[in-house]
Structures are given as C-alpha cells and as structure tokens.
Amino acid sequence: MNVVILAAGQGKRMHSDTPKVLHQLAGKALLAHVIGTARALAPRVICVVYGHGGEAVRDGLADSGELVWVKQEPQLGTGHAVMQALPYLEAAARTLVLYGDVPLTRAETLSRLIAAAGQGLGVLTVTLDDPSGYGRIVRERGKLSRIVEQKDATAAELALREVNTGIMVAPTEKLKKWLSALSNDNAQQEYYLTDIVALAVAQRMPVEAAQPQAAWETLGVNSRAQLAELERVYQRNFADALLEQGVALADPSRLDVRGTLECGRDVAIDVNCVFEGQVSLGDRVVIGAHCVLKNARVAAGTRIEPFCHIDEADIGADCRIGPYARIRPGTSLAKDVHLGNFVEVKNSQIGEHSKANHLAYIGDTTVGRDVNIGAGTITCNYDGASKHRTIIEDGAFIGSDTQLVAPVRVGKGATLGAGTTLTRDAPAGQLTLSRAKQVSIENWSRPVKKNK
C-alpha cells in the first residue's frame, strides 16, 4: 500500500500565518493526525504533497518519522497534486489518497474502503443533509458512474445528497494512466482527481464506494469554526470512550484531552480539566475542576483539588494536592504527601507523609519523610547565575516564613524557628533560629498625611 497525503492547501479562511495543516486539533497538527492514521495501515511509503507554507510544514512535522515530501508548485488541483507523488510510489501496490486537513477518518473505515475496492477503484462517500460545497456522486443503475464538482453541477445533480469525500484508493499503474489523461477544462481550470472515476467507468474498471460509520470522519477544516467543531467531536468521542471504561466524568462535554489519558478503576474527573501529553491516573484518583495535567503520572488514591497545574511530574499514592497548587517539571512525590493551596514545587523530591499545606515555594530540593514545611517558606535556589540544591532530612520541622538559602542542609529532626533565614546547615535534632532582636519604641507617632 502507498499512501499519498495532499497537504498543499493555503487555508485562506483560517486567516492565519500558520499553514492550515499545522493548525492543532487535540494538541496535535491536523496533518499529524492523518499521518498517524496512515501509519496504522502499515503502508510501504507515505508521501506528503505540500505547497503553501513550504518548509514550515516539513519542519512542523519533523518528528513524524520517515516520510517522502514532495512540493506542489504551482497548485493546479488535486489530480495535479497526486501526479507529483507518482515517481515515489511502488507500482505494484495500491495507492490510497488522503487529505491533510481531514483529521478524524478512522483506520477501520479506510480498511473497509480498501477491502471494498479490491483491485478496482474505491471511493469513500458520505450522505449529508446539506451537501453544499461537495462534489456529488452520480450513479447509473445504482453504480457509481462519475463525480461532478458543485461548480460544474446541474440543478438535478446539486440535489444529490451523496457526496465525494476525496478519499480514494486505486491500483497504482492504473492511477498513473488515468492521471495522464486528465483535463483542466472546467470552471476552476484545475486537474480534478475526481475525474478518474469517469475514466475508470469508461474502461469498465470496477468502481466501488464505501461509507464511514459517522459523517464527522470525512469532515475537513477550512475555517476556525470548522476546526472548533471537529475539536468538540474529537473530545466527545474521547469522553465517550472513557465513560465506557468506567471513568466518572462530571460533564463529558467539558473535557479536553490533548494526547493520551490512561485511567484505572473508579477514577473521577470534574469539569473543565485539560490533559496534555501522556497522562496516567491510577485507581480511585479524583481530579477536581479546572485542573491541567501535562505528562504526569498520578498513583492510586490521590486527590487533586481544583485549579491545580501539574507538569512533567510523578505523584505518589494517596497524596492530597491543592487547591491552587503548581507542580513543575522534575518533581516526584512519594506516598501520602500533602501540598496545599498556593504551594509551588519544582525539580524536587518529597518523601512519604511530608506536608507543605500552604503558601510555599520548594525548588531544587530533596525533602525526606515526615517533614512539615510551614506557610511562607521558600527555598532560595537561584543566585542569579546558577541553581543550588537544598536538602531537608527526615522529620524536620520548618517554621513559617523561613528562607533556606541554597546550598544548605537541614539535619534529621531539626527545627527551624519561624522567620529564620538559613544560610548555613542546621544541625540534626536542634532548634535553629535567625531573627533580629525585637524592639518597641515608646512615644513614637505614626506619620499623618498633610492636607493640601
């Protein structure tokens, strides 16, 4: 199987400097979705025909694996686009034509189309309530005979509701001959790929049609509104799959997954949560409303309260996070860690049963077991040029409003009094204080604002 993906369109209606096929759906470029579907078919070659956007399209998909890139310049229609790919296709294989702005076609649907076509020409069609803008499928005695573009259609043909999706599969040798016979004698003076249907019929080549299970599989993106519509389709489909697995969603219409989301048993997700990259939620995990998790693993029994951001972090079992906590890359939390409201943790490891319940910054720090970090505590990890590490050993108690100026170590079981600025290591098991002497001044008057 050869796959040709047509991705040369400009996308004027997007009103954007970004090439249309690089606009994102569910956190991934439209073209990346199509490439992923094509790969599921295990083709011998995937050829991407690009044009508008030039090297930006190639650069935007640089991590998509081995692809053949062919530039269409100028753009003279879909038939002309496929012509550019012909030198790179294996002649003995069939060729499937896909579109870089049609992201939701399922691999199962394409497999059915390929099976239905056999060694003939296969066309994916769909029946729409409003077929405006699409090429109409014309049948004779029930058999597909030709496709007519809307601009070239008669009134009777415009009334037809079965339309062409543009997705086709054909024997490559036949495809080459049909493409060489195309004419641009039409309203747009372009070489239409759809015209190969009439050529196949004329040669008595079997032409078979297949339809998807849902019309949204064939919908393309030409505007911001259409992109937003497909985003909701994608997200609702994902939500339905989660519900089928037993995940409790407070509102399936208010969920956004921009990557992968794996859930254990009895997981509950409240409204307006966003999951990016690779996210894993263990059994009985609860995610509160308005949370954002990116490339994160959350172990069983943990509860994430509302309005938390977790990015590139590993959260242990039975933890309590938030509300309004921010956990940044490089952080790992052991079992039963509590991080409360307005606590930020970055590139740190926190041991079992340790707590920072409110208003703290923990950066580049190793925290042991059973540590209590009071409100207003910060680790001063940056000297303006380099980051330095803080170590807080097991059982330490950090009083409120404490600053730990790294590099510094707090020994096992040590206590830091509230308001301490620690610049040297605190010995294990001792109380360390750093405070200015308290002074009260008699007969002092607060300044009074003078009237002008």
3 state SS of 327: strand
Structural domain ending residue among the three candidates 166, 201, 218: 218
Domain containing 40 equals: 2-218
Residue 439 domain flag: no
How would you class 151 by CB atoms within 10 Å of its CB: exposed for 0-12, middle for 13-18, buried for 19 or more?
exposed
Looking at the structure of the chain, the number of domains it has is 2
Tell me, rounded to whole angstroms, the distance of Cα 80 from its chain centroid.
Answer: 32
Residues 151 and 237 in one domain: no
Residue 66 domain flag: yes
**Active-site residue, from 23, 33, 353, 358:** 358
Residues in CB range of 195: below 8 A, 6 or more apart = 79, 147, 182, 183
pLDDT number for residue 185: 87
Residue 161 domain flag: yes
Q: Which residues pair with 333 in a beta bridge?
A: 315, 350
Residue 444 domain flag: no
pLDDT number for residue 216: 96
Residue 450 domain flag: no
Residues 175 and 293 in one domain: no
Residue 451 domain flag: no
3 state SS of 380: strand
Tell me the pLDDT tens digit for each residue of 199-233. Answer: 998 998 989 999 999 999 999 999 999 999 999 99
What is the 3-state secondary structure of 281-324? ECCCCEECCCCEEECCEECCCCEECCCCEEECEEECCCCEECCC
3 state SS of 206: coil
CATH number at residue 289: 2.160.10.10
Whether the CB-CB separation of 253 and 242 falls below 8 Å is answered with no
Residues 263 and 236 in one domain: yes
Residues 205 and 295 in one domain: no
Counting other chains too, the contacts that 383-389 makes at CB distance below 8 Å and 24 or more residues apart are 387/347, 387/363, 388/364, 389/364, 389/365
Residues 144 and 195 in one domain: yes
CA distance 25 to 232: 9
**Structure letter (DSSP) for residue 424:** S
> What is the DSSP annotation of 53-88?
BTHHHHHHTTTS-S-EEEE-SS---HHHHHHHHGGG
Whether the CB-CB separation of 373 and 355 falls below 8 Å is answered with yes
Beta strand spans in 182-337 (E): 207-210, 248-249, 255-263, 268-269, 273-281, 286-287, 292-294, 297-298, 303-304, 309-311, 313-315, 320-321, 326-327, 331-333
Whether the CB-CB separation of 169 and 114 falls below 8 Å is answered with yes
CATH number at residue 37: 3.90.550.10
pLDDT number for residue 75: 87
CA distance 32 to 22: 8
CA distance 178 to 422: 80
CA distance 360 to 297: 23
Residues 159 and 306 in one domain: no
**Residue 309 annotated among the catalytic residues of the structure:** no
Structural domain ending residue among the three candidates 193, 218, 243: 218
CA distance 272 to 251: 8
Q: Tell me phi and psi for residue 423, to 5 degrees.
A: -115, -10
* Placement of tokens 């019309």 in the chain: 215
pLDDT number for residue 141: 86
Whether the CB-CB separation of 21 and 101 falls below 8 Å is answered with yes
The pTM score is 0.91
Residues 276 and 375 in one domain: yes
Structural domain ending residue among the three candidates 218, 247, 274: 218
Residues 231 and 98 in one domain: no
Residues 135 and 272 in one domain: no
pLDDT number for residue 309: 98
Residue 452 domain flag: no
pLDDT number for residue 186: 82
Intervals of the chain under pLDDT 50: none
Residues 90 and 209 in one domain: yes
Tell me, rounded to whole angstroms, the distance of Cα 319 from its chain centroid.
Answer: 27
Residues 203 and 229 in one domain: no
pLDDT number for residue 262: 98
Residue 370 domain flag: yes
Taking the C-alpha atoms of 356, 358, 360 and 366 in order, what is their torsion angle to the nearest 10 degrees?
Answer: 10
Whether the CB-CB separation of 99 and 167 falls below 8 Å is answered with yes
pLDDT number for residue 171: 96
Residues 188 and 228 in one domain: no
